[in-house]
Structure 1
Amino acid sequence: MKKIWAVALVGLLGAVQACAADPEAGKKIATEVCAACHGPTGDAPMTPQYPRLAGQHRDYLAKALTDYKTGARQNPIMQGFAANLSERDIENLAAYFASQKGSLRVKPAGH
């Protein structure tokens, strides 16, 4: 029974964080900081250097940014950008990019 309550609590906390996020505040940061590489909506042409962020899961984006900030994920450029983000900024950015329509593109075979 305790396990069920723990799972419910984790789900509830995730929902509260998602509701508390402000995608418009995330859009402002994305426009000022992220757009040069990822595009204004996070749907820049896909390259290994600049992956698409639009339409990704909010929790994935928040974890990736947090990991760049803490150094758990290594990329000198992203670590520099993430170092200046607060937890609230990260949640707002994640909510913004998650709310954008992503475009799925499949590379032709052999590329």
Structure 2
Amino acid sequence: MNRLFPLFVLATTLAVSSLAQAAGNAEAGKALAAPCTACHGADGNPTDPQYPRLNGQYRDYLQEAMLQYKNGKRKNAIMSGFMQPMTEQNIADLSAYFASLPGGKLGDLSHPPAAK
């Protein structure tokens, strides 16, 4: 048992650090968001209705949508072009930033809030 304990500690550390990374960093996302604001607005709420609102979305929804633009599962020439150079961490950071704006939701869709 004592020989397995270091492996358990290592596995736990790696799991926790990957969860923290997946959550994203809103401050880092803010630094990446300048190109996004041209269409989606500085506050994630665009003035032109053809562009989706970002500040009222769940973080994990935004993250999944951006990943799908990056890997081609969602089709949009503009969004795919912006997502291609982004790393998964960049996408997690952008998602955290837009979800942190007023009206945004940092929640996880796999655990939706209880109905009131």
CA contact (8 A) 1:68 1:82 kept: yes
CA deviations 1:85-108 (Å, max 9, x no partner) are 1101000000000111138xxxxx
Q: TM-score, normalized by length of structure 1?
A: 0.71
CA contact (8 A) 1:46 1:52 kept: no
Q: Which has the larger radius of gyration?
A: 2
Q: Identify the residue that residue 46 of structure 2 maps to in structure 1.
A: 44
**What is the aligned residue count?**
88
1:24 pairs with one of 18, 22, 27:
27
> Residues 83, 30 of structure 1: CA spacing in aligned structure 2 closer, same or farther, 3 A cutoff?
same
RMSD between superposed Cα atoms in Å: 2.1
Secondary structure of the residue that 2:33 maps to in structure 1? Answer: helix
**Sequence identity, in percent?**
48
Off by >3 Å, runs of 4+ in structure 1: 12-16
Q: Where in structure 2 are the equivalents of 1:25-104 lying within 5 Å?
A: 25-31=28-34, 33-45=35-47, 47=49, 49-102=50-103
Give unpaired runs (5+ residues) of structure 1.
1-11, 104-111
